[in-house]
């Protein structure tokens, strides 16, 4: 782990390091320790982007410099930033990103996403990524994400776009399935009945054990989503009536519109999720 972290500090193009381990085994401490070892950064005081005073300036710093302001420099340690992975507010962000992707990159003629945004001008033949390599193509990830968002939001228009992508690649999928690993996953999701687990978090934060239980069986098409009081997405159709019973975390395992009995017991939930799989 130490070597991995240090290599990333030397060459950020490596693209990161994934650290896995139980709680309390020092993962975050190691990352904070690494930040301590890194040289201090020098930047322009008051700049939100921490512009490098020796490099090119952001628009705001440029404006300050142009107006004759003497830009002051300061130094500080590299910041360690926590991103809220799995936080419930991610769902609104995911929907906003999906809508932005459609607004900028959807091509009605092709019926797929293309690689050039509308505002950057499209030529006669606009490239579009369809085949999957080590990095999946924009269209296969797009199809999968749109299907998930359609399930979460109840917006069938999103699923229609996903199916449009799958139709566009269907002949190629048939001929060369090995070039479309990720796209096949989206096709699998589109062909099956949607399955999902909604975890309504109780006051005691007991939703975590339920989410972990739902994720345990091999169930690649399962969508797991959390909802709490006051979440904006609580108004989406999938979450209607799915509340924490008696203040305890409660899970709802569903296929299509039919759901198993709500449960607060992780073992029972795991059993329910397994049988969603078996009876498919
Ligand atoms: Zn700046």
10-residue averages of pLDDT along the chain (280 residues): 87 80 85 86 85 78 90 85 60 90 91 83 77 90 96 94 96 93 94 93 79 92 89 89 90 92 96 77
pLDDT confidence of residue 277:
63
| Full-model pTM | 0.68
Residue 56 Cα to ligand 1 midpoint, Å, equals 9
Residue 58 Cα to ligand 1 midpoint, Å, equals 4
Residue 243 Cα to ligand 1 midpoint, Å, equals 46
pLDDT confidence of residue 157:
96
Helix, strand, coil percentages in the chain from 3-state DSSP, rounded to 5 = 45, 10, 40
Q: Which protein residues have their CB within 5 A of the ion that is ligand 1? A: 47, 49, 51, 58, 61
Pairing of strands 250-255, 222-227: unpaired
Residue 60 Cα to ligand 1 midpoint, Å, equals 6
- Torsion angle (degrees, nearest 10) of CA 23, 28, 33, 34: 130
Instruction: Give the domain ranges of the chain.
Output: 2-76, 90-190, 195-278
Q: Of 90, 122, 95, nearest to 107 (Cα)?
A: 122
Residue 154 half-sphere exposure, CB side, CA atoms within 13 Å? 9
Helix (H) or strand (E) run with residue 258 in it: strand 258-259
Could you say which architecture CATH assigns to the domain 195-278? 3-Layer(aba) Sandwich (3.40)
Residue 63 Cα to ligand 1 midpoint, Å, equals 9
pLDDT confidence of residue 251:
96
Residue 248 Cα to ligand 1 midpoint, Å, equals 47
Residue 57 Cα to ligand 1 midpoint, Å, equals 5
Q: Are 148 and 221 in contact (CB under 8 A)?
A: no
Alpha-carbon gap, residue 256 to 262, rounded angstroms: 15
pLDDT confidence of residue 164:
97
Residue 62 Cα to ligand 1 midpoint, Å, equals 7
């Amino acid at each position: 782990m130490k070597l991995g972290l240090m290599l990333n500090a030397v060459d950020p193009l490596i693209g990161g390091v994934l650290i896995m381990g139980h709680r309390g085994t020092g993962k975050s401490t190691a990352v904070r320790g690494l930040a301590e070892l890194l040289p201090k950064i020098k930047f322009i005081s008051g700049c939100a982007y921490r512009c490098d005073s020796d490099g090119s300036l952001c628009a705001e710093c440029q404006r300050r410099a142009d107006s004759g302001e003497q830009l002051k420099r300061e130094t500080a340690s590299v910041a360690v930033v926590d991103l809220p992975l799995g936080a419930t507010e991610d769902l609104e962000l995911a929907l906003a990103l999906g809508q932005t992707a459609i607004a900028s990159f959807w091509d009605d003629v092709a019926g797929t996403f293309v690689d050039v945004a509308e505002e950057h001008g499209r030529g006669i033949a606009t490239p579009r990524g369809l085949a999957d390599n080590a990095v999946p193509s924009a269209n296969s990830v797009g199809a999968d994400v749109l299907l998930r968002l359609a399930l979460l939001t109840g917006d069938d228009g999103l699923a229609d776009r996903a199916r449009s992508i799958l139709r566009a690649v269907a002949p190629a999928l048939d001929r060369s399935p090995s070039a479309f690993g990720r796209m096949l996953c989206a096709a699998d999701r589109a062909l099956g009945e949607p399955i999902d687990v909604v975890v309504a978090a109780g006051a005691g934060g007991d939703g975590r054990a339920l989410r972990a239980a739902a994720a345990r069986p091999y169930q690649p098409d399962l969508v797991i989503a959390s909802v709490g009081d006051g979440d904006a997405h609580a108004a989406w159709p999938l979450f209607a009536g799915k509340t924490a019973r008696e203040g305890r975390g409660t899970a709802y395992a569903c296929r299509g519109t039919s759901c198993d009995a709500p449960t607060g017991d992780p073992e029972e939930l795991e059993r329910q999720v397994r049988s969603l799989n078996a009876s498919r």
